[in-house]
Amino acid sequence: MIILVGGEKGGTGKTTLVTNFAAMRRNQDSDVLVVDTDKQGSASYWAATREGNEQMRRVPSIQKFGKAIASEIRDLASRYQDIIIDAGGRDSLELRAAMTVVEKLIIPIQASQFDVWTLGAMSELVNQAIAFNESLQTFVVLNRASTNPSVSETAEAKEVLEDFENLVLLNTVIHDRIAYRKAAKSGLSVVELQPKEVKAAKEMTSLYQEVFS
């Protein structure tokens, strides 16, 4: 599967999803490659950190920039079972190019900064990409939702997303938890943390299943 994690904003959790998916895929025996198109290189940094941990299965990563990534991804698709692309921030050349070749686009949205304008712009971009890539499926996932049960960010998001036919809200909500930062720092997925971080592992597994099944 070729998956792109992208969006118009920085800091919404793109690299967090890319690195968690990649490690989980690898642990399921998939031959997975992370393609980092963000000049900040945080996904590559994560993969390099992971390499220092001999107990974990290595996740290969490469950095690619520029619009040629569309054809490069097509080439790589014959050599890897799964390709997971970190599209970095903004409406980048890389994001637009990658959207024309991937099967699924996942857009993390920060629950508290939930923003209709960003969604409108993304929906527009998705429509343009579909002209080249008919089978593109686009999903939105709420990230960093409050763990306080009295805050109901999900309902509001659902309502807003109903206006965008080409954006589908995933059922799993990812909450704001220290475990995500801990895992990122150590080159791990939240499901690999010891001692176990049960709630984070459970929600990330649920998201993984929604995306990869």
Ligand X SMILES: Nc1ncnc2c1ncn2[C@@H]1O[C@H](COP(=O)(O)OP(=O)(O)O)[C@@H](O)[C@H]1O
Least separation in angstroms between CB 47 and ligand X:
14
How crowded is residue 71: how many other Cβ atoms within 10 Å of its Cβ? 11
SS3 content of the chain, % helix, strand, coil (to 5): 45, 15, 40
In this structure, what DSSP letter does residue 13 have? S
The minimum distance between CB 197 and ligand X, in angstroms, equals 11
Task: Pick the stretch among 7-15, 127-135, 152-160, 176-184 that binds Mg ion (CB under 5 A).
Answer: 7-15
Length of the chain: 213
Binders of ligand X among residues 161 to 180 (CB under 6 A) are 174, 176-177, 180
Task: Determine, following the binding rule CB under 5 A, whether residue 15 of this chain makes contact with Mg ion.
Answer: yes
In the chain, the amino acid numbered 49 is: T
- Residue from 2, 3, 8, 15 that binds ligand X (CB under 6 A)? 15
Reading the block at residue 152, the tokens are 């109901």
* Buried residues in 130-157 as b, exposed as e (16+ CB within 10 A): beebeebebbbbbbbbeeeeeeebeeeb
* Residues of this chain, 115-134, that bind Mg ion according to CB under 5 A: none
Residues 110-129 close enough to bind ligand X by CB under 6 A? none
Residue 12 interacts with ligand X (CB under 6 A)?
Answer: yes
Any contact of residue 20 with Mg ion (CB under 5 A)? no
Nearest Cα residue to 35 out of 70, 104, 69, 85: 85
Q: Which does 210 bind (CB under 5 to 8 A by kind): Mg ion, ligand X, none?
A: none
Instruction: Pick the binder of ligand X from 47, 140, 167, 184 (CB under 6 A).
Output: 184
Amino acid code (one letter) for 57? R
Distance of CA 132 to the CA centre of its chain: 22
* Residue at token pair 């960010």: 153
Residue range at the interface with Mg ion (CB under 5 A); choices 36-44, 101-109, 110-118, 126-134: 36-44
Identify the three-state secondary structure at position 32. Answer: strand
Residue of 42, 49, 63, 137 interacting with ligand X (CB under 6 A): 42
Q: Which stretch binds ligand X (CB under 6 A): 12-20, 48-56, 63-71, 123-131?
A: 12-20
Rounded Cα–Cα distance for residues 135 and 60 (Å): 27
Residues that bind ligand X (CB under 6 A): 10-16, 42, 89, 143-144, 174, 176-177, 180-181, 184
